[in-house]
Amino acid sequence: MSHRGDAPLVAVVGVTGAVGQEFLSVLSDRSFPYRSIKMLASKHSTGKRLNFEGNEDVAEELIPESFNGLGISDRQEGASCDSRSESRGYGSYQAWVGEGALIANPNCSTIICLMAATHLHRHAKVLPMVVSTYQAASGAGAGAGAAAMEELEQQTRENDMNVKVTATCIRVPVMRAHAGSVNLQFEMPIDEDTDTARDILRDAPGLVVIDDRAANHFPTPLEVSNKDDVAVGRIRSDVSQDGNYGLDIFVCGDQIRKGAALNAVQIAEML
């Protein structure tokens, strides 16, 4: 990672949590340039030691003065990439435009879904869209995600192998990665039989198509855990609609990585 004099000053808030730790991983993986980096956390996590790129840092308590010198204040002067749920009410990428921009990272399930739906929308305008999400334990949010993962891990270890289990085909009990079943209705016909939808999705950046009906191989949360790309599959016409105006797809993506940390870092890279 470079430390150029003209590189941005970076602060990671909630650095001891699951998303905060993923932020550090993504910053390092993508060699994101920074002049300096502040490790900020809630009061009860203050003082925790963190190892980042061979250096030991200490989590500082998040207070209003934490952003002094970063170009960000209570009035949102400067720019920040915010993944907190309370900021998402401002919309997707742009909350304020120009100097003094707060860029609110969308909800993780929204990011994963739109990685596929947006490219189809550009081809044949989406009218209504119906989405059902299947969310991983780590998506429990602010402090609860880590506890939920620990609980799931403990329950997995304690499972009696003699217990007979029946399960649905959607493998939800995983540590990370959300899934969504998406029904799209278009303004123009989109014919699945011509592979139009698959071609659009295969060419989309950040998206991988897993749709092998012969081998019964479709996206699962396990396959996209710790991955940058969102997976899409089960691509088929909505036979309840006439005229090929409807399409069903299934998407999976790591909601900690692409659904939070990676997406925010990619926005920062664009800035």
Q: Any idea which residues carry the catalytic annotation?
A: 108, 178
Cβ atoms of 190 and 244 within 8 Å: the answer is yes
225: CB partners within 8 A, 6+ apart: 174, 175, 176, 177, 254
Q: Which residue is listed with tokens 């119906």?
A: 130
CA distance 219 to 233: 6
Cα Rg, the chain, nearest whole Å: 21
Cβ atoms of 106 and 81 within 8 Å: the answer is no
Name the 3-class secondary structure at 29: helix
CA distance 23 to 198: 31
Cβ atoms of 245 and 189 within 8 Å: the answer is yes
* Phi-psi map region of 53: left, alpha, beta (phi>0 left; psi -120 to 50 alpha): left
